[in-house]
Chain A
Amino acid sequence: MPRLGYSYAFLDPGAKRELRRSLLKAVALPGYQVAYASREMPIARGWGTGALQVTLSLVGPEDVVKVIDQGADDSVNAANLRRFIASMSGARTTWDTLEATLIQSRHRIPEERLRPHQILILQVPIPEPLRHVEPSEPRARELHALADYSALWVGLFEETRRFRRSLKGAAYPVMVHGRYVMDPSPIPRWDVPKLHQAPHLTLLAAGREKRLYAVPPHTEVRPLAFQDVPFQVERVRARCRRTGVGHLFLNAIPGEGGLEHELSDTSVLEKLRAGRALGETYYDLEGRFYRDDVPV
């Protein structure tokens, strides 16, 4: 049962209507940042309030909600958000990626492939990919309007000349549908190819910065890269100390004899430890990506 004394799923109907309209606009303009009012939420600003508003504007009693933080369902902030969503909406919660209908995530895309009925909601700290080269919001908006991304290309070129690669780790900029450059939120490069031609809808929300944007299903998402210096994902040559898996994204954990590693995705970790079957994953055992039209 949803909590009494508050509007269903916390937000008042006016706020929900505004959010849904903004989301529709975001879906219609892939990668374009839609400004919205962004209400205060009862968790600290900058801790996922934007994605939380989106989740609450979409959730219904039939939904199954999963919340992860850096891949983990048991992280304290994820647990707090999940508890809040459940208490305000009456929706069921889960750790299982395959079972979820709504997945709110901070900085990871699950390893098991998402399907058309699932919606991924990514928390975004800085939605503006041009922020580092153009701190002014009106000027950045103009550059987007003109599709003028030369400052990003020059930066990438300079890094490539000096270091033979991009120094950008998480939050690697991508070109969406050949039109807007988008910050995919600080997901590792490992997760970036998962957005390309994905069958599911991805919504990205920045509460503090008051911007929403989207990658609709089956959209071209290309990391910014030069033809002769292709984009590459992180390759952690190690195995999970609890499951022995080596082909999925691993967290580094300082141990006695140096770095140890553990699976970042708790849904996968739990299933492997319980001896249950995994869903199809984006990367296979040899580390090959499931599509061959994106560089990894």
Chain B
Amino acid sequence: MSYVTARGGEEAIRAAEALYRSLLGRLTPAFHEQLEARLPYLLDRLMGEGGVWAPRLAALALAQTGGDLYEGVLLLRAYRTTLPRLSPALALSREELCLLRRISAAFKAIPEGQVLGPTLDYSQRLLRLEALYRAEAPPPPPEAARPAPERYPSVSGWLRRKGLLQAPREAAEGLPDLTTEPLRFPAPRPLALQALARADTGGLLALGYSGMRAYNAHYHPTVSELGLGYAEVRLPHPVRGGAFAIGEVRLSFAEVVAPAQPGEPYRLGFAATLGWNEVKVIAAALLELEMQREEPHPARSQEFVLLHTDPVEASGFALHYKLPHYVTFLSNLLAHQGQPEEVEDA
């Protein structure tokens, strides 16, 4: 005989979820389309941390959680993990990316030029209050005098050819996959880069900023190249061999360089993520650079950074504190306060 298991707890859950959903209102395909078209940077952040490229699903995750980013990332990750992993995509070199924006802080001019692309960096951040009362169409961007190049040479490639930059540390032979194996330390660089790619933007920013502001201020790394653009995803064809493209994803990357020993080539820090998220890749590249030091500051060690910036793990554990803890609380209380008979016996 089994107990009837639908009781207080389950009814309460259903009612609580119904209340949450009723406050958010109807979910419609048109709304998801709007989100996808109008909030690309928000969706990019979600997909970067979710580790999956699926704009429509990201829009749905956002709508379904009322814009709660941590909940949204969890939805995407939990859905993604159920999908079969059909094939790893072919590796792309930096020079195969189609970039809309690429700038270098290291040199005034770089081969093929600084390309500002779509950005607010050099604009006044004023609320356009008029738009509260009447629709506002964006000004059309001016016509380009000549078509942009399809590909741009890599700044770090140039530095390396000039002997100014250390050689790459690890070959990308037989790439490990962070989603199918645990992160252990010291972590190989590909796993560390994957963890940074999926890390929480805010978490990376806080840790990265602590290094920038104070705790590694004795040297100042330089952004040798920052890029936003598209990457074509190519797979090996399962039947006829060769490669074929299945689509493209938005992507951002940052490369930072810093001096090693005097007279030696510079060291390179790198990070890339799905979507356009500049603050994330800059912070991540700086952290990646600092993790390589002999004895990094504890808050910039690989273990500290990578274990504490996963958005799903960190937010989930923070929220678990609201679960009931009455057995553990009582057990700890009794251990601390002591019980008369325990104290007498001891």
Binding site for B on A (CB under 8 A): 6-7, 10-12, 14-15, 18, 35-42, 44-47, 49, 64, 69-80, 82-83, 92-96, 99, 106-108, 125, 136-138, 160, 163-171, 186-190, 208, 210, 229, 232, 234-237, 249, 251-252, 264, 270
Nearest-Cβ distance from residue A5 to partner chain B, whole angstroms: 10
Name B312's closest neighbour in chain A (CB-CB).
A45
Binds A, one of B93-101, B102-110, B230-238, B315-323: B315-323
Q: Are B182 and A40 in contact (CB under 8 A)?
A: no
Judge whether B3 is part of the interface by a CB distance below 8 angstroms: yes
Cβ contact within 8 Å between A270 and B3: yes
- B2 lies within 8 A of chain A by Cβ: yes
Tell me whether chain B's interface is mostly helix, strand or loop, or mixed: helix
Inter-subunit contact B327/A76 (CB<8 Å): no
CB atoms of B333 and A169 under 8 A apart:
yes
With A and B bound together, what is the CA distance between A167 and B179 in angstroms?
Answer: 39
Q: Roughly how many angstroms separate A35 CA and B183 CA in the complex, as a whole number?
A: 9
Q: Say which one of B211-219, B245-253, B338-346 lies at the interface with A.
A: B338-346
- B2 touching A35 by the CB < 8 A rule? no
Distance in angstroms from B203 CB to nearest chain A CB is 14
Contact call A42/B78, Cβ cutoff below 8 A: yes
Q: Are B180 and A82 neighbours in the complex by a CB distance under 8 Å?
A: no
A35 touches B331 (CB 8 A): no
Q: CB distance A79 to B74 under 8 Å?
A: no
Tell me which of A36, A49, A93, A170 has the highest count of chain B C-beta atoms within 10 A of its own C-beta: A170
Beyond A44-B316, A45-B317, A95-B3, 16 additional pairs, beta carbon < 8 A = A14-B85, A14-B180, A38-B182, A46-B316, A76-B13, A79-B5, A96-B1, A107-B327, A165-B338, A169-B336, A187-B327, A210-B183, A229-B346, A234-B331, A234-B334, A235-B341
Q: How far is the CB of A253 from chain B (nearest CB, A)?
A: 8
Contact B327 A70 (CB under 8 A): yes
The answer to whether A70 touches B335, judged by C-beta atoms less than 8 angstroms apart, is no
Q: Once bound together, how far apart are the Cα atoms of A237 and B340, in whole Å? A: 10
Contact of A36 with B182 at beta-carbon distance under 8 Å, contacts A190-B331, A208-B317, A232-B342 already known = yes
> In the complex the two chains form, what is the Cα distance from A93 to B328 in whole Å?
26
- Cβ-based interface call for B186 (8 A): yes
In the assembled complex, B174 has its CB within 8 A of some CB on chain A: no
- Point out the residues of chain B lying under 8 angstroms from A69, CB to CB: 323-324
Do A7 and B323 have beta carbons less than 8 Å apart?
A: no
CB-based contact B84/A99 at 8 Å: no
* Interface bin, chain B: 35 or more
Q: Please determine whether A168 and B335 come into contact, CB atoms closer than 8 angstroms.
A: yes
Docked Cα-Cα span, A249 to B74, in Å, equals 36
Closest B-chain residue to A7, C-beta based?
A: B82
- The answer to the question of B278 belonging to the interface, with a C-beta cut-off of 8 Å to chain A, is no
Q: Closest residue to B184 on the A side, CB-wise?
A: A35
Give the residues from 73 to 101 in chain B that come closer than 8 angstroms, CB to CB, to chain A.
74-75, 77-85
Return 25 A-B CB contacts under 8 Å, by A number.
A7-B82, A40-B77, A40-B81, A40-B312, A42-B74, A42-B79, A44-B316, A45-B74, A45-B313, A75-B9, A80-B10, A80-B13, A92-B2, A96-B1, A96-B3, A99-B1, A165-B335, A167-B335, A168-B335, A170-B327, A186-B327, A188-B328, A188-B331, A235-B342, A264-B327
**In the complex where A189-B335, A234-B334 touch, is A137 in contact with B185 (Cβ < 8 A)?**
yes
Is A46 a contact partner of B327 (Cβ separation < 8 A)?
no
Across the interface, name the chain B residue whose C-beta is closest to A270.
B3
B326 at the interface (CB under 8 A from A): yes
B164 CB to closest chain A CB, in angstroms? Answer: 33
Cross-chain contact of B327 among A15, A38, A71, A79 (Cβ < 8 A):
A71
Q: Are A249 and B327 in contact (CB under 8 A)?
A: yes
Hey, which chain B residues are within 8 Å of A270, CB to CB? 3
Residues of chain B contacted by A82 (CB below 8 angstroms):
5
Residues of B within 8 A of A138 (CB): 184-186, 303
DSSP majority for the A interface?
loop
A94 with B182: CB separation less than 8 A: no
Which residue on chain A has the smallest CB distance to residue B51? A40
CB A269 to nearest CB in B, in angstroms, measures: 11
B331 touches A47 (CB 8 A): no
Question: In the complex, A72 Cα to B12 Cα: how many Å?
Answer: 15
Q: Given A7-B82, A64-B2, are A189 and B331 also a contact pair (CB < 8 Å)? A: yes
B140 at the A interface (CB under 8 A): no
Known: A169-B334, A236-B334. A79 touches B9 (CB 8 A): yes
On whether the beta carbons of A208 and B327 are closer than 8 Å, the reply is no
Please, how many angstroms separate the alpha-carbon atoms of A78 and B6 in the complex? 12
Nearest A residue to B70 via CB reads: A44
Question: Which single member of A10, A77, A92, A236 contacts B323 (CB below 8 Å)?
Answer: A77
Residues of A within 8 A of B339 (CB): 234-235, 237
Cβ of A66 to closest chain B Cβ, rounded Å: 9
Given A46-B316, A93-B2, check contact A169 B184 (CB 8 Å): no
Q: Is the CB of B312 within 8 A of A93?
A: no
Partner of A76, one of B2, B12, B307: B12
Once the chains bind, are A46 and B5 in contact (CB under 8 Å)? no
> A203–B140 Cα gap in the complex (Å)?
62
Contacting pair B313 A208 (CB below 8 A): yes
A75 to B346 Cα, complex, angstroms: 36
- Interfacial chain A residues near B18, Cβ < 8 Å: none
Q: Knowing A80-B13, A169-B332, say if A45 contacts B316 (CB, 8 Å).
A: yes
A166 to B78, CA, bound (A): 40
Instruction: Kindly state the separation between the CA atoms of A70 and B181 in the bound complex, as whole angstroms.
Output: 31
Question: B128 at interface (Cβ–Cβ under 8 A)?
Answer: no
CB atoms of A232 and B345 under 8 A apart: yes
Are the C-beta atoms of A252 and B313 separated by less than 8 Å?
A: no
Contacts of A136 in B (CB 8 A): 185, 303
CB distance B335 to A94 under 8 Å? no
A37, B179: Cβ atoms under 8 Å?
yes
- Chain A hits for B75, CB < 8 A: 42
